[in-house]
Amino acid sequence: MKLGIPTDDGKTVSGIFGRANSFAVYDTDTAELIVLANEGIGAEHGAGTGAASFLAEQGVSKVLAPELGPKALSALSSAGVAVARVEAGTKILEVVRRA
């Protein structure tokens, strides 16, 4: 299963979702962790839904974030992606270790 986590510095969880600098994608089966740039960061509108669809396309089945906007939440749920809360500033490695 793949987990998606918003991150600004590639190391810790970002406080925001749709306009985070990048997303850490962790594969629990292979223990592979990659950080992908968020190309939707400059979107005028719909950064949250854009991020949701980007992560769904990456095969992410669970998003771990401190908070999500209403549109991002409904986009994730319609894509069948689960959501769990983690605190902003937590180390990504810590988050995936606990997952």
Partner 1 sequence: MTITVASGKGGAGKTSLAAALAASVGSSCIVADCDVDAANGAIALHARLRESGPYFAGPGYRIEPSLCIGCGRCMPACRFNAIRTDKTRRTYLIAEELCERCGACTDHCPVDAIQGFTKEAGRLSVSDCPLGMTLIHAELVPGEDTSGKLVNQVRRRADTINPGNAIIIVDAPPGIGCPVIASLSGADIVLLVVDSTISGLRDSLRLSELAAGMDKRIIAIINKTGLDEEIDNKIRVAMTQSSIPVMGEIPFDPLLRSVEEKDLTWIDVAGEAGLKAKAAVRAVLEYAQMQMIY
Q: Which residues bind partner 1 (CB under 8 A)?
A: 15-17, 19, 42-48, 66-71, 73, 85, 88
> What is the nearest approach in angstroms of partner 1 to the Cβ of residue 44?
4
> What is the nearest approach in angstroms of partner 1 to the Cβ of residue 69?
4
> What is the nearest approach in angstroms of partner 1 to the Cβ of residue 75?
13
**For partner 1, the closer CB: 50 or 60:** 50
Query: For strand 2-7 and strand 32-37, is the pairing parallel, antiparallel, or unpaired?
Result: unpaired
**For partner 1, the closer CB: 69 or 99:** 69
Q: Contacts by 26-31 with C-beta closer than 8 Å and gap 24+?
A: 26/2, 26/92, 26/96, 26/99, 27/1, 27/2, 28/1, 28/2, 28/3, 28/96, 28/99, 29/1
Tokens of residue 80, six digits? 């069948």
**For partner 1, the closer CB: 61 or 74:** 74
**For partner 1, the closer CB: 2 or 20:** 20
> What is the nearest approach in angstroms of partner 1 to the Cβ of residue 65?
10
